[in-house]
Homo-oligomer: A and B are copies of this chain.
């Protein structure tokens, strides 16, 4: 039958000392006699005592768990980050709670509230929205360690880890322009999302710098799923004068575009050139392989977790904003456009 796990009281009783003394012996603080300490440890061993982390947390006001609110764990980008955070957390004897906001502000807020009522102090969040971030503001006010990841939010002063989205997008577009393209399409998701906005802005500034006037007909918007991206790509390439090149803002949309092109009988890079943001393992399996703007994924989660644990272990440095560079990985999905 289910015998309850041993409590400190049990250990104390077994060792014939008070709870206070048992606690002192096990946590080694204050004065404890050698012999007493031995007895207590023996008793703890014998009874298989493991402290109740819940009671400890209630007492000292925080639970050694990291709350991690991401867009979606199924996105390999976030899965990788979650994995890296978990590995580091384990070193600090923290656990990891993962929640998906599914890009809904409301869900992000309620998830956060629910975690806060668990006395969790320490969050890594990929914020959905750029506005109405009262929940994040409150965290800051209450001095709860918070690291924003992948996206920053105006008005929130805290640690963050993002990549140079604008620069990455600019590199991609400059490359396409250099290869002779002028009608360059953009497949992006909701501009509510920070990364999408920044990548759009890089796209526009590179076009302008290249003497090309941005044209709304070259831009298609969809949710960030493969299915929605297929539709958006088809819409974009069903125009009378479709783009000769396409830039997609994340890997799911890149996959959608690939499928759409296949369905439409459009061949890469012969009929159209393609550059995607975010490298993904599929990109090197296709023929031709896909040229992408790569983010240092392995460093993002690690950096975020490091920042968080700095704060959690009491170092109160001013907020750090880490921004990683991106890299254009030229593979085979872009062809030179004959002039004219």
Q: A10 to chain B: closest CB distance in Å?
A: 15
Q: Which residues of B contact A287 (CB under 8 A)?
A: 286-287
Q: Which residues of B contact A335 (CB under 8 A)?
A: none
B73 touches A76 (CB 8 A): no
Contact of A281 among B53, B93, B96, B282 (CB under 8 A): B282
A115 touches B97 (CB 8 A): no
Q: Mark A74-96, 1 if CB is under 8 A from B, else 0.
A: 10100110110011000001011
Contact of A143 among B2, B54, B100 (CB under 8 A): B2
Q: Mark A97-113, 1 if CB is under 8 A from B, else 0.
A: 11110000000000001
Contact of A117 among B1, B52, B82, B281 (CB under 8 A): B52
What residues make up the interface of A, taking CB atoms closer than 8 Å to B?
A: 1-3, 5, 50-55, 57-58, 63, 65, 72-74, 76, 79-80, 82-83, 86-87, 93, 95-100, 113-119, 141-143, 226, 255, 258-259, 281-282, 284-287
**Subset of 20 A-B contacts with CB under 8 Å:** A1-B141, A2-B141, A2-B142, A50-B113, A51-B117, A54-B57, A54-B58, A58-B58, A73-B79, A74-B83, A86-B98, A86-B100, A87-B100, A96-B98, A97-B97, A255-B281, A255-B285, A285-B286, A286-B286, A286-B287
- 4 nearest A-B pairs in the assembled complex, by CB-CB distance: A2-B142, A282-B282, A53-B117, A50-B117
